[in-house]
Structure 1
Amino acid sequence: MADTKVPATGPKQKLPAIPDIESPLPNEKVWEYRRRVLQAQINKGSRYPPFSIEPMPWERQRINSPMSEEDRFLRKQWLRDQNLSPNEPRNVPEAKPMFRARRLIRIPWDMAEVVMAKVIGQNAAGVIRLITPKILFAYVLGVAGFYHIYYNPRSWESHHGFFLFGSRRSRFPGADHSAFPPDVETFNLQGFDYRKSHLNARTSAQGQ
Protein backbone atom coordinates (compact mmCIF):
# COMPACT_ATOMS: atom_id res chain seq x y z
CA MET A 1 0.00 0.00 0.00
CA ALA A 2 1.37 3.36 -0.94
CA ASP A 3 2.25 5.80 1.76
CA THR A 4 -0.33 8.60 1.79
CA LYS A 5 1.50 10.79 4.28
CA VAL A 6 2.76 14.05 2.85
CA PRO A 7 6.30 14.80 3.92
CA ALA A 8 6.75 17.92 5.97
CA THR A 9 8.14 20.85 4.06
CA GLY A 10 10.58 23.41 5.31
CA PRO A 11 9.95 27.12 5.68
CA LYS A 12 8.52 28.73 2.58
CA GLN A 13 10.97 30.75 0.59
CA LYS A 14 9.88 34.22 -0.39
CA LEU A 15 9.69 34.68 -4.12
CA PRO A 16 11.60 37.60 -5.61
CA ALA A 17 9.60 40.70 -6.40
CA ILE A 18 8.30 41.21 -9.92
CA PRO A 19 10.70 43.49 -11.84
CA ASP A 20 9.45 47.00 -12.39
CA ILE A 21 8.31 47.69 -15.97
CA GLU A 22 8.70 51.45 -15.77
CA SER A 23 12.29 51.26 -17.00
CA PRO A 24 14.44 48.60 -18.70
CA LEU A 25 16.69 46.37 -16.68
CA PRO A 26 20.47 46.67 -16.93
CA ASN A 27 21.82 45.15 -20.16
CA GLU A 28 18.25 44.48 -21.34
CA LYS A 29 17.61 44.81 -25.05
CA VAL A 30 14.74 46.85 -26.45
CA TRP A 31 12.81 43.87 -27.78
CA GLU A 32 13.23 42.05 -24.46
CA TYR A 33 11.90 45.07 -22.57
CA ARG A 34 8.88 45.35 -24.88
CA ARG A 35 8.13 41.66 -24.49
CA ARG A 36 8.35 41.97 -20.69
CA VAL A 37 5.98 44.97 -20.70
CA LEU A 38 3.50 43.08 -22.89
CA GLN A 39 3.63 40.06 -20.60
CA ALA A 40 3.09 42.28 -17.55
CA GLN A 41 0.00 43.75 -19.20
CA ILE A 42 -1.33 40.27 -19.91
CA ASN A 43 -0.68 39.11 -16.33
CA LYS A 44 -2.53 42.14 -14.91
CA GLY A 45 0.00 42.61 -12.12
CA SER A 46 0.17 38.91 -11.25
CA ARG A 47 3.17 36.64 -11.50
CA TYR A 48 1.36 34.20 -13.77
CA PRO A 49 -0.93 34.75 -16.76
CA PRO A 50 -4.68 34.10 -16.43
CA PHE A 51 -5.91 30.64 -17.36
CA SER A 52 -9.26 29.00 -17.89
CA ILE A 53 -10.66 26.59 -15.31
CA GLU A 54 -13.28 25.13 -17.65
CA PRO A 55 -13.06 21.33 -17.56
CA MET A 56 -12.74 19.80 -21.02
CA PRO A 57 -13.54 22.95 -23.00
CA TRP A 58 -13.09 21.30 -26.41
CA GLU A 59 -15.66 18.90 -27.81
CA ARG A 60 -12.98 16.53 -29.08
CA GLN A 61 -11.77 16.12 -25.49
CA ARG A 62 -15.22 15.01 -24.42
CA ILE A 63 -15.79 12.49 -27.22
CA ASN A 64 -12.25 11.19 -27.68
CA SER A 65 -12.45 9.05 -24.55
CA PRO A 66 -15.41 8.15 -22.34
CA MET A 67 -16.03 10.75 -19.66
CA SER A 68 -16.02 9.50 -16.12
CA GLU A 69 -18.67 10.42 -13.58
CA GLU A 70 -16.29 12.96 -12.04
CA ASP A 71 -15.69 14.57 -15.44
CA ARG A 72 -19.42 14.80 -16.09
CA PHE A 73 -20.02 16.28 -12.65
CA LEU A 74 -17.28 18.91 -13.09
CA ARG A 75 -18.56 19.80 -16.56
CA LYS A 76 -22.15 20.05 -15.33
CA GLN A 77 -21.15 22.14 -12.33
CA TRP A 78 -19.12 24.51 -14.49
CA LEU A 79 -22.04 25.02 -16.89
CA ARG A 80 -24.34 25.76 -13.96
CA ASP A 81 -21.87 28.31 -12.62
CA GLN A 82 -22.20 30.30 -15.85
CA ASN A 83 -25.81 31.18 -14.99
CA LEU A 84 -26.02 34.51 -13.22
CA SER A 85 -27.79 34.76 -9.93
CA PRO A 86 -30.79 37.12 -9.59
CA ASN A 87 -28.60 39.82 -8.02
CA GLU A 88 -26.02 39.77 -10.86
CA PRO A 89 -24.51 41.71 -12.48
CA ARG A 90 -23.86 43.90 -9.49
CA ASN A 91 -23.41 47.63 -9.87
CA VAL A 92 -20.38 48.81 -7.93
CA PRO A 93 -20.13 52.61 -8.17
CA GLU A 94 -16.66 52.58 -6.62
CA ALA A 95 -15.40 50.63 -9.64
CA LYS A 96 -16.35 53.55 -11.94
CA PRO A 97 -14.90 56.70 -10.35
CA MET A 98 -16.10 60.06 -11.69
CA PHE A 99 -14.96 63.60 -11.06
CA ARG A 100 -17.15 65.95 -9.03
CA ALA A 101 -18.68 67.91 -11.92
CA ARG A 102 -19.93 64.74 -13.56
CA ARG A 103 -21.35 63.44 -10.29
CA LEU A 104 -23.27 66.70 -9.82
CA ILE A 105 -24.66 66.56 -13.36
CA ARG A 106 -25.84 62.98 -12.83
CA ILE A 107 -27.84 63.74 -9.67
CA PRO A 108 -31.07 65.02 -11.33
CA TRP A 109 -30.99 62.25 -13.95
CA ASP A 110 -30.50 59.58 -11.30
CA MET A 111 -33.43 60.97 -9.32
CA ALA A 112 -35.59 60.96 -12.46
CA GLU A 113 -34.60 57.35 -13.13
CA VAL A 114 -35.74 56.30 -9.66
CA VAL A 115 -39.14 57.96 -10.21
CA MET A 116 -39.57 56.47 -13.70
CA ALA A 117 -38.57 52.99 -12.49
CA LYS A 118 -41.63 52.93 -10.22
CA VAL A 119 -43.91 53.67 -13.18
CA ILE A 120 -42.46 52.00 -16.28
CA GLY A 121 -39.98 49.52 -14.79
CA GLN A 122 -36.24 49.48 -14.18
CA ASN A 123 -35.20 48.37 -17.69
CA ALA A 124 -37.19 51.03 -19.55
CA ALA A 125 -36.15 53.69 -17.05
CA GLY A 126 -32.50 52.73 -17.47
CA VAL A 127 -32.73 53.02 -21.26
CA ILE A 128 -34.40 56.43 -21.04
CA ARG A 129 -31.84 57.51 -18.44
CA LEU A 130 -29.03 56.48 -20.78
CA ILE A 131 -30.34 58.01 -24.02
CA THR A 132 -32.09 61.22 -22.93
CA PRO A 133 -29.02 63.13 -21.61
CA LYS A 134 -27.05 62.31 -24.75
CA ILE A 135 -29.85 63.46 -27.07
CA LEU A 136 -30.33 66.64 -25.05
CA PHE A 137 -26.60 67.36 -25.06
CA ALA A 138 -26.40 66.79 -28.84
CA TYR A 139 -29.41 69.11 -29.37
CA VAL A 140 -27.94 71.90 -27.25
CA LEU A 141 -24.59 71.52 -28.96
CA GLY A 142 -26.21 71.65 -32.41
CA VAL A 143 -28.29 74.73 -31.56
CA ALA A 144 -25.24 76.50 -30.13
CA GLY A 145 -23.20 75.65 -33.21
CA PHE A 146 -25.95 76.83 -35.57
CA TYR A 147 -26.32 80.09 -33.67
CA HIS A 148 -22.57 80.68 -33.68
CA ILE A 149 -22.27 80.02 -37.42
CA TYR A 150 -25.43 81.81 -38.54
CA TYR A 151 -25.54 84.84 -36.23
CA ASN A 152 -21.88 85.28 -35.30
CA PRO A 153 -19.93 84.46 -38.46
CA ARG A 154 -16.39 85.39 -39.24
CA SER A 155 -16.03 88.66 -41.17
CA TRP A 156 -13.28 90.64 -42.79
CA GLU A 157 -13.08 92.75 -39.60
CA SER A 158 -12.68 89.88 -37.11
CA HIS A 159 -10.75 86.65 -36.87
CA HIS A 160 -13.10 84.55 -34.74
CA GLY A 161 -15.93 82.26 -35.69
CA PHE A 162 -16.62 80.42 -38.94
CA PHE A 163 -17.46 81.56 -42.44
CA LEU A 164 -19.22 79.21 -44.86
CA PHE A 165 -18.77 79.57 -48.58
CA GLY A 166 -19.03 77.30 -51.57
CA SER A 167 -16.80 76.68 -54.54
CA ARG A 168 -17.13 78.87 -57.60
CA ARG A 169 -18.56 77.42 -60.77
CA SER A 170 -16.00 76.50 -63.39
CA ARG A 171 -15.76 78.90 -66.32
CA PHE A 172 -14.36 77.68 -69.60
CA PRO A 173 -13.53 79.57 -72.81
CA GLY A 174 -16.59 80.04 -74.96
CA ALA A 175 -19.05 79.59 -72.10
CA ASP A 176 -22.09 81.84 -71.86
CA HIS A 177 -21.18 84.46 -69.25
CA SER A 178 -24.84 85.33 -68.71
CA ALA A 179 -25.30 81.96 -66.98
CA PHE A 180 -22.98 83.04 -64.17
CA PRO A 181 -24.11 85.30 -61.33
CA PRO A 182 -22.90 88.90 -61.46
CA ASP A 183 -20.93 88.52 -58.25
CA VAL A 184 -18.94 85.56 -59.52
CA GLU A 185 -15.70 87.33 -58.71
CA THR A 186 -16.66 88.00 -55.10
CA PHE A 187 -15.24 84.76 -53.74
CA ASN A 188 -14.77 84.39 -49.99
CA LEU A 189 -14.93 88.12 -49.28
CA GLN A 190 -16.30 87.43 -45.78
CA GLY A 191 -18.80 90.29 -46.00
CA PHE A 192 -16.36 92.85 -47.43
CA ASP A 193 -18.79 93.79 -50.21
CA TYR A 194 -21.42 94.72 -47.55
CA ARG A 195 -19.15 97.14 -45.70
CA LYS A 196 -20.47 100.51 -44.52
CA SER A 197 -17.14 102.34 -44.55
CA HIS A 198 -14.20 102.71 -46.94
CA LEU A 199 -16.59 102.76 -49.86
CA ASN A 200 -14.52 105.26 -51.91
CA ALA A 201 -11.12 104.19 -50.68
CA ARG A 202 -8.41 103.92 -53.29
CA THR A 203 -5.34 101.76 -53.21
CA SER A 204 -1.84 103.13 -53.60
CA ALA A 205 -1.77 101.82 -57.17
CA GLN A 206 -4.97 103.65 -58.04
CA GLY A 207 -3.74 106.90 -56.51
CA GLN A 208 -0.75 107.14 -58.82
Structure 2
Amino acid sequence: MAQTAGVKPMAIAGRVALERERCIGMTDAERAWRKQWLQDQVLAANEPVYVKEYWLERTNIIRRIYRKPLDTVFQMLMPVLGQERAANYRYLTGKIGLGIVGVLSVHYYFKYHGNDWTKKGGWKVLKSKPMVLPGQPGFPFKSERSQDADYADRNFKNATI
Protein backbone atom coordinates (compact mmCIF):
# COMPACT_ATOMS: atom_id res chain seq x y z
CA MET A 1 0.00 0.00 0.00
CA ALA A 2 1.25 3.50 -0.79
CA GLN A 3 2.65 5.62 1.98
CA THR A 4 -0.22 8.10 1.59
CA ALA A 5 -2.90 5.36 1.26
CA GLY A 6 -4.03 6.60 -2.13
CA VAL A 7 -4.36 10.26 -1.10
CA LYS A 8 -2.24 12.73 -3.05
CA PRO A 9 0.62 14.00 -0.85
CA MET A 10 0.51 17.62 0.21
CA ALA A 11 3.57 19.78 0.85
CA ILE A 12 3.14 21.30 4.32
CA ALA A 13 6.06 23.71 3.83
CA GLY A 14 3.87 25.78 1.51
CA ARG A 15 5.05 28.39 -0.94
CA VAL A 16 8.05 29.45 1.14
CA ALA A 17 9.77 26.05 1.09
CA LEU A 18 11.99 27.25 -1.75
CA GLU A 19 14.58 29.93 -1.07
CA ARG A 20 13.73 31.69 -4.32
CA GLU A 21 10.10 32.10 -3.21
CA ARG A 22 11.22 33.50 0.14
CA CYS A 23 13.49 36.05 -1.58
CA ILE A 24 10.58 37.32 -3.68
CA GLY A 25 8.92 38.49 -0.50
CA MET A 26 6.95 37.14 2.42
CA THR A 27 4.06 38.60 4.31
CA ASP A 28 4.13 38.91 8.10
CA ALA A 29 1.69 35.98 8.33
CA GLU A 30 3.98 33.82 6.17
CA ARG A 31 6.99 34.79 8.30
CA ALA A 32 5.16 33.81 11.48
CA TRP A 33 3.96 30.57 9.89
CA ARG A 34 7.49 29.70 8.67
CA LYS A 35 8.99 30.48 12.09
CA GLN A 36 6.49 28.13 13.73
CA TRP A 37 7.09 25.48 11.07
CA LEU A 38 10.87 25.59 11.64
CA GLN A 39 10.36 25.27 15.40
CA ASP A 40 8.13 22.25 14.81
CA GLN A 41 10.92 20.48 12.90
CA VAL A 42 13.14 20.36 16.00
CA LEU A 43 12.76 17.03 17.83
CA ALA A 44 12.38 16.85 21.57
CA ALA A 45 15.11 15.22 23.67
CA ASN A 46 13.10 12.00 24.12
CA GLU A 47 12.24 11.55 20.41
CA PRO A 48 11.95 9.25 18.60
CA VAL A 49 9.87 7.44 21.21
CA TYR A 50 9.99 3.63 21.20
CA VAL A 51 6.58 2.21 22.08
CA LYS A 52 6.79 -1.54 22.58
CA GLU A 53 3.08 -2.18 22.02
CA TYR A 54 3.19 -0.28 18.71
CA TRP A 55 6.11 -2.44 17.53
CA LEU A 56 4.32 -5.63 18.63
CA GLU A 57 1.20 -4.67 16.68
CA ARG A 58 3.16 -3.85 13.52
CA THR A 59 5.40 -6.92 13.39
CA ASN A 60 4.46 -10.48 12.56
CA ILE A 61 4.78 -13.13 15.31
CA ILE A 62 7.01 -15.26 13.06
CA ARG A 63 9.33 -12.31 12.46
CA ARG A 64 9.53 -11.66 16.19
CA ILE A 65 10.40 -15.32 16.84
CA TYR A 66 13.27 -15.55 14.35
CA ARG A 67 14.65 -12.15 15.42
CA LYS A 68 14.58 -12.97 19.15
CA PRO A 69 18.02 -14.68 19.47
CA LEU A 70 20.00 -11.84 17.90
CA ASP A 71 17.86 -9.21 19.63
CA THR A 72 18.63 -10.79 22.99
CA VAL A 73 22.39 -10.92 22.34
CA PHE A 74 22.60 -7.35 21.10
CA GLN A 75 20.34 -6.08 23.90
CA MET A 76 23.08 -7.25 26.29
CA LEU A 77 25.79 -5.64 24.13
CA MET A 78 23.96 -2.31 23.82
CA PRO A 79 25.44 -0.76 27.01
CA VAL A 80 28.95 -1.62 25.76
CA LEU A 81 28.59 -0.74 22.06
CA GLY A 82 25.98 1.99 22.16
CA GLN A 83 22.52 1.87 20.63
CA GLU A 84 23.37 2.80 17.03
CA ARG A 85 26.47 0.62 16.77
CA ALA A 86 24.67 -2.36 18.32
CA ALA A 87 21.80 -1.93 15.82
CA ASN A 88 24.28 -1.84 12.92
CA TYR A 89 26.14 -4.92 14.16
CA ARG A 90 22.86 -6.76 14.71
CA TYR A 91 21.79 -5.98 11.13
CA LEU A 92 25.13 -7.10 9.65
CA THR A 93 25.26 -10.25 11.78
CA GLY A 94 21.80 -11.28 10.59
CA LYS A 95 22.62 -10.67 6.91
CA ILE A 96 25.96 -12.48 7.12
CA GLY A 97 24.26 -15.39 8.90
CA LEU A 98 21.62 -15.64 6.16
CA GLY A 99 24.37 -15.54 3.53
CA ILE A 100 26.25 -18.39 5.22
CA VAL A 101 23.06 -20.47 5.49
CA GLY A 102 22.39 -19.84 1.79
CA VAL A 103 25.89 -20.89 0.73
CA LEU A 104 25.76 -24.03 2.89
CA SER A 105 22.31 -24.91 1.51
CA VAL A 106 23.53 -24.65 -2.07
CA HIS A 107 26.61 -26.73 -1.21
CA TYR A 108 24.47 -29.40 0.46
CA TYR A 109 22.09 -29.52 -2.49
CA PHE A 110 24.80 -29.98 -5.09
CA LYS A 111 26.69 -32.50 -2.93
CA TYR A 112 23.77 -34.77 -2.05
CA HIS A 113 21.04 -34.06 -4.60
CA GLY A 114 22.87 -33.89 -7.91
CA ASN A 115 21.49 -35.35 -11.09
CA ASP A 116 22.67 -38.92 -11.56
CA TRP A 117 21.21 -42.16 -12.87
CA THR A 118 19.47 -43.02 -9.55
CA LYS A 119 17.23 -39.92 -9.52
CA LYS A 120 14.85 -38.35 -11.93
CA GLY A 121 15.29 -34.79 -10.64
CA GLY A 122 18.16 -32.58 -9.65
CA TRP A 123 20.13 -29.99 -11.56
CA LYS A 124 22.44 -31.22 -14.25
CA VAL A 125 25.86 -29.69 -13.84
CA LEU A 126 27.78 -29.85 -17.07
CA LYS A 127 31.42 -28.95 -17.55
CA SER A 128 32.46 -27.36 -20.79
CA LYS A 129 35.70 -28.49 -22.30
CA PRO A 130 38.67 -26.26 -21.55
CA MET A 131 40.05 -23.93 -24.18
CA VAL A 132 43.43 -25.26 -25.25
CA LEU A 133 45.19 -23.27 -27.95
CA PRO A 134 48.04 -24.42 -30.20
CA GLY A 135 51.34 -24.14 -28.37
CA GLN A 136 49.81 -24.73 -24.95
CA PRO A 137 50.36 -27.99 -23.06
CA GLY A 138 47.58 -30.48 -23.69
CA PHE A 139 46.94 -29.43 -27.29
CA PRO A 140 45.00 -31.00 -29.00
CA PHE A 141 42.53 -31.56 -26.16
CA LYS A 142 41.38 -35.14 -25.76
CA SER A 143 38.28 -35.89 -23.73
CA GLU A 144 38.42 -38.25 -20.75
CA ARG A 145 35.45 -40.08 -22.21
CA SER A 146 36.77 -42.99 -24.18
CA GLN A 147 33.61 -44.34 -25.79
CA ASP A 148 30.32 -42.96 -27.04
CA ALA A 149 28.53 -44.71 -24.15
CA ASP A 150 30.44 -42.53 -21.66
CA TYR A 151 28.68 -39.33 -22.74
CA ALA A 152 25.23 -39.88 -21.19
CA ASP A 153 25.90 -42.37 -18.42
CA ARG A 154 25.10 -39.88 -15.60
CA ASN A 155 27.69 -41.59 -13.40
CA PHE A 156 26.22 -45.07 -13.98
CA LYS A 157 29.54 -46.75 -14.72
CA ASN A 158 30.93 -45.67 -11.33
CA ALA A 159 27.99 -47.27 -9.44
CA THR A 160 28.90 -49.93 -6.87
CA ILE A 161 25.86 -52.17 -7.42
Q: TM-score, normalised by structure 1?
A: 0.58
Aligned 1:4-153 pairs, distance under 5 A: 42-43=6-7, 49-55=8-14, 56-65=16-25, 67-91=26-50, 92-94=54-56, 96-98=58-60, 100-153=61-114
Q: Quick check: 188-197 or 145-154, which moved more?
A: 188-197
Determine the structure 2 residue equivalent to 1:26. none
**CA RMSD, 1 decimal:** 2.9
Cα distance in structure 1, aligned partners of 2:11 and 2:106: 51
Deviations 1:37-80 (A, max 9, x none): xxx9531xxxxx44222142233322223x23332222122123
Instruction: Report the 3-state secondary structure (helix = DSSP H, G, I; strand = E; otherwise coil) of the residue aligned with 1:192.
Output: coil
Alignment of structure 1 residues 150-169 onto 2, 5 Å: 150-168=111-129
- Match among 128, 142, 152 for residue 180 of structure 1: 142
Q: Distance in 1 between matches of 2:125 and 2:74?
A: 41
Q: How much does 1:189 deviate? A: 3.5
Identify the match of residue 190 of structure 1 among 139, 151, 154: 154
Q: Deviations over 1:87-137 (max 9, x none)?
A: 333444046321x33222222222112101011111111111112122112
1:80 and 1:112 map into 2 onto residues whose CA distance is: 39
User: What are the ranges of 5 or more consecutive residues in structure 2 without an aligned counterpart?
Assistant: 132-137
| Paired-residue identity, % | 26
Q: Which has the higher helix share?
A: 2
Secondary structure of the 2:6 match is helix
Q: For structure 1, list consecutive stretches of 5 or more residues without a partner in the other structure.
A: 1-39, 44-48, 171-175, 198-208
Q: Structure 1 177/112 Cα, relative in aligned 2: closer, same or farther at 3 Å?
A: closer
- Runs of 4+ displaced beyond 4 Å: none
TM-score (norm 2): 0.72
